[in-house]
């Protein structure tokens, strides 16, 4: 039987190598090198997210186990810088400051199809669909959403209706 005390834990910064919500885990590569660090879905959920986009900068608490290093807590996640992709038309006029000023509305994912690159959610108490584009999800530091998942959304009124301009984990939305 393995016993670990709090003194065996330490903070590590690194990059998310990959994370697969369907498998329930992924790996982090520490800035200082070494073997990959297991990031389990439950640890990520405790942070308030169901997924994390590859290449995100992450600060975690790790612990040595018989199977290697494992994350026990996520402290911060910073999504990778957006590539030089053409911004979404409905988002082009908004700076990060403008986006941050918008209220976060609690929502539940209706469905999201990563292969199609979009999905829909409903704001609590309202059955109208809110469009979520994969690029918005990536810019928000997430890689996928699961049907029924509770999230927070910052919204804009686009040409075709309400759409998410930022997606945040439920823990952030519930504050």
Q: Which residues contact 89 (CB under 8 A, 6 or more apart)?
A: 158, 159
CATH superfamily for domain 89-173: Nucleic acid-binding proteins (2.40.50.140)
CA dist., res. 106 & res. 129, Å (int): 13
Q: What does the pLDDT look like over 9-43, one tens digit per residue?
A: 999 999 999 998 888 899 999 999 988 999 999 99
Cβ-based neighbour number of residue 173 at 10 Å: 19
Q: What is the pLDDT of residues 96-123, one digit of tens each?
A: 777 778 899 999 999 999 888 899 999 9
End-to-end CA distance of the chain, in Å? 38
Longest dimension (CA), the chain: 59
What residue segments make up the domains of the chain, in order of their start? 6-78, 89-173
Q: Which CATH superfamily is domain 6-78 in?
A: Nucleic acid-binding proteins (2.40.50.140)
Asked whether the domain spanning 89-173 has the same topology as the one spanning 6-78, the reply is yes
Residue 172 CA to residue 100 CA, distance in Å, equals: 13
Instruction: For residue range 77-99, list pLDDT tens digits in order.
Output: 988 875 544 455 656 667 777 77
Structure tokens at 2: 């393995």
């Amino acid at each position: 039987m393995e016993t670990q005390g709090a003194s065996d834990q330490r903070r590590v910064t690194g990059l998310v190598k990959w994370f697969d919500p369907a498998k329930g885990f992924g790996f982090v590569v520490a800035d200082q090198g070494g073997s990959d660090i297991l990031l389990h879905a439950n640890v990520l959920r405790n942070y308030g997210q169901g997924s994390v986009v590859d290449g995100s900068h992450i600060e975690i608490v790790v612990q040595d186990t018989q199977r290697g290093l494992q994350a026990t807590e996520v402290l911060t996640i910073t999504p990778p810088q957006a590539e030089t992709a053409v911004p979404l038309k409905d988002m082009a006029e908004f700076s990060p400051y403008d986006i941050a000023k918008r209220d976060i509305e609690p929502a539940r994912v209706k469905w999201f199809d990563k292969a199609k690159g979009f999905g829909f959610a409903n704001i609590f108490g309202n059955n109208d669909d809110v469009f979520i584009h994969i690029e918005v999800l990536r810019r928000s530091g997430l890689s996928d959403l699961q049907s029924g998942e509770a999230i927070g959304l910052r919204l804009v009124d686009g040409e075709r209706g309400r759409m998410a301009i930022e997606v945040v984990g439920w823990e952030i939305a519930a504050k």
